[in-house]
Amino acid sequence: MKIGQNHIQDTNSKDLKIHQEHFDFLGNSLSKKGVDVATIIKKLQDFQVAIPSWALGAGGTRFGRFSFFGEPSSLEQKIEDVGVLHALTQTAGAVSLHIPWDIPQDYNAIKELASSLDIKFDAVNSNTFQDQKNAKESYKYGSLSNTSEAVRQQAIQHNIDVINIGNKLGSKALTVWLADGSCFPGQNNFQTAFQNTQDSLKAIYKSIPDDWKLLIEYKPYEPNFYSTVIQDWGASLMLANECGNKAYTLVDLGHHLPNSNIEQIVSILQLKGKLGGFHFNDSKYGDDDLTVGSIKPYALFLIFNELVYGMENNPQNPDLAWMIDASHNVKDPLEDLIQSLEAIQEAYAKALLVDQALLKAAQLDNDVVKCQEILQDAYRTDVRPLLAKARLEKGGALSPIQAYRSLDVRNSLIQERGKNTVATGL
Ligand code: PSV
Ligand code: MN
Ligand code: MN
């Protein structure tokens, strides 16, 4: 399924006039406040978020999984689905692969397909949390941290294989997320597990090309429920520092204990030049992987406020690898991803509206009320016309969800692919 420009223009045509009215009203009031609207639109257009290959089918829980059918069952079809998202939103210009689920058969064909849809290959993800068919060693008791050297070697070699696959596609980062940890006190020696992980990561790091990043993701619990080896940003940062200057911490919004101040974590990592990647989702209780911005939109805005500050003031921090890491149990995955992309752009646009100079002055004056007013003035602005304008200028849909529905994308996919449904494994 490929969405043509003419399809999108058709669906846009009936709403163009009302969009223009909304945009003019917002644009005028922002300009009067001294906001450079054109620059904000350009920044929104440049902000591209990777779609993970495993989020394109229905997720599920250990209790069940309910499909929407027409799900992609090959890497080609996954890339085509990202193409649909990108055509409509103009903000999903990258895909993040998970190996071994997404090993390409024909590299040139895959690269051609992706570039025809204007999609880049973002970070590649290794998988040492499942035993693979015919694998000699088992990850039941951990991978990079395992007490067995043979298991650690197998996991190290897998990561090196993933780097080689990514290299052939043009990826520039390896993301390592480990399930390693323990379920019961006494099961593991914390120091041994951490030291083994550090040594294993350093071995992998030797194969990281010079223009690549090693992104180290942390998570406090699950699938292990007593301890996780890389449980928080501190552990991740220590490991990244041990590896070297191509290694960074990756923040996944769902990987924090309740009430963690994620915006502060993000801010300090940028100050230290060590924030390398970001996984968007939302949660109420744990690593719920819900639609971005569906539960705590103000927290997302505050995080973006720090990200924007960092992007403008911390040249020591590199460009970040942005990715959505959500799972879809009751919504059509593509509709859910469109909602997440919109929420990301919305939070970003609001953060761009924060008057940083005014905020700094209010902070220096210790004018706490004014500081809050400045943030909330930006947060309360309805920026959706800016997002629509940014999309429109690039050939995207004024309302991606409406366009997706009026083009009947899911039914076309079902007709094309049949009622196939593929579990993603996550
Ligand atoms: C598991 O929690 C997880 O969602 C991590 O966030 C990884 O990024 C992802 O799976 C893919 O390995
Ligand atoms: Mn993640
Ligand atoms: Mn997760």
Instruction: Give per-residue pLDDT as tens, 351-390.
Output: 999 999 999 999 999 999 999 999 999 999 999 999 999 9
The amino acid occupying position 228 is T
**pLDDT confidence of 320, banded at 50, 70, 90?**
very high
Which of 266, 272, 227 lies closest to 247 in space, CA to CA? 272
CA–centroid distance, residue 43 to ligand 1 (Å) = 28
Establish whether residue 256 lines the binding site of ligand 1, counting it when its CB lies within 6 angstroms of any ligand atom: no
What pLDDT does residue 21 have?
A: 98
pLDDT of residue 43: 98
Q: Which amino acid is at 400?
A: P
Q: Is the pLDDT of residue 295 over 80?
A: yes
Biggest distance spanned by C-alpha atoms of the chain: 66
Q: 177 CA distance to ligand 1 centroid (A)?
A: 6
Query: Phi and psi dihedrals of 277, rounded to 5?
Result: -150, 165
pLDDT of residue 91: 98
Q: Is 219 in the pocket of ligand 1 (CB under 6 A)?
A: yes
Q: Indicate whether residue 177 lines ligand 1 (CB < 6 A).
A: yes
Query: Residue 426: what pLDDT?
Result: 57
The protein residue whose alpha carbon is closest to atom 12 in ligand 1 is 177
Evaluate: CB of 217 within 6 angstroms of ligand 1.
yes
pLDDT score of 401? 98
pLDDT at 425 over 80: no
Asked if pLDDT for residue 207 goes beyond 90, the answer is yes
Question: What pLDDT is recorded for position 61?
Answer: 85
CB within 8 Å of 42: residues ≥ 6 apart: none
State residue 1's pLDDT score. Answer: 76
What is each CA distance from 150 to 133, 140, 193, in whole angstroms?
A: 17, 13, 15
Please check the confidence at residue 304 and state whether its pLDDT lies above 90.
yes
Ligand 3 centre to CA of 426 (Å) is: 9
Q: What is the pTM of this model?
A: 0.97
Residue nearest to atom 2 of ligand 1 (CA): 287
52 pLDDT above the threshold of 60: yes
Q: What is the 3-state secondary structure (H, E, C) of the chain?
A: CCCCHHHHHHHHHCCHHHHHHHHHHHHHHHHHCCCCHHHHHHHHHHCCCEEEHHHCCCCCECCECCCCCCCCCCHHHHHHHHHHHHHHHCCCCEEECECCCCCCCCHHHHHHHHHHCCCEECCEECCCCCCCCCCCCCCCCCCCCCCCHHHHHHHHHHHHHHHHHHHHHCCCEEEECCCCEECCCCCCCHHHHHHHHHHHHHHHHCCCCCCCEEEEECCCCCCCCCEECCCCHHHHHHHHHHHCCCEEEEEECCCCCCCCCHHHHHHHHHHCCCEEEEEECECCCCCCCECCCCCCHHHHHHHHHHHHHHHHHCCCCCCCEEEECCCCCCCCHHHHHHHHHHHHHHHHHHHHHCCHHHHHHHHHCCCHHHHHHHHHHHHCCCCHHHHHHHHHHCCCCCCHHHHHHHCCHHHHHHHHHCCCCCCCCC
In this predicted structure, the answer to whether residue 316 has a pLDDT above a threshold of 70 is: yes
| Phi and psi torsions of 280, nearest 5° | -95, 140
Predicted pLDDT of residue 23: 98
Which tens digits make up the pLDDT trace of 172-203?
Answer: 999 999 999 999 999 999 999 999 999 999 99
Residue with tokens 């450079």: 36
The residue ranges of every structural domain in the chain are 47-353
| pLDDT tens track for 255-278 | 999 999 999 999 999 999 999 999
Compute CA distances 34 → 39, 124, 289, 358, 379, whole Å: 12, 41, 38, 12, 17
Cβ atoms < 10 Å from Cβ of 47: 17
pLDDT higher than 70, residue 327: yes
* Residues paired with 175 in a beta bridge: 125, 215
Average pLDDT score over residue span 395-403: 98
Cα of 294 vs centre of ligand 3, distance in Å, is: 16
Report residue 424's pLDDT band, with 50, 70 and 90 as the boundaries. low
Q: Residue 173 has which token pair?
A: 């980062």
What is the average per-residue pLDDT within 95-114?
A: 98
Q: What's the confidence (pLDDT) of residue 423?
A: 55
Mark 5-18 as b/e (b = at least 16 C-beta within 10 Å): eebbeebbeebeee
What does CATH list as the number for 47-353?
3.20.20.150
Q: What is the dihedral of CA 380, 384, 385, 388, to 10 degrees?
A: 160
Average pLDDT, the chain: 96
- pLDDT the model gives residue 418: 87
Answer whether 102 contacts ligand 1 (Cβ < 6 A): no
Q: In one letter, which amino acid is 269?
A: L
Query: What does the pLDDT look like over 128-156, one tens digit per residue?
Result: 999 999 999 999 999 999 999 999 999 99
Which residue is associated with the tokens 């520039």? 172
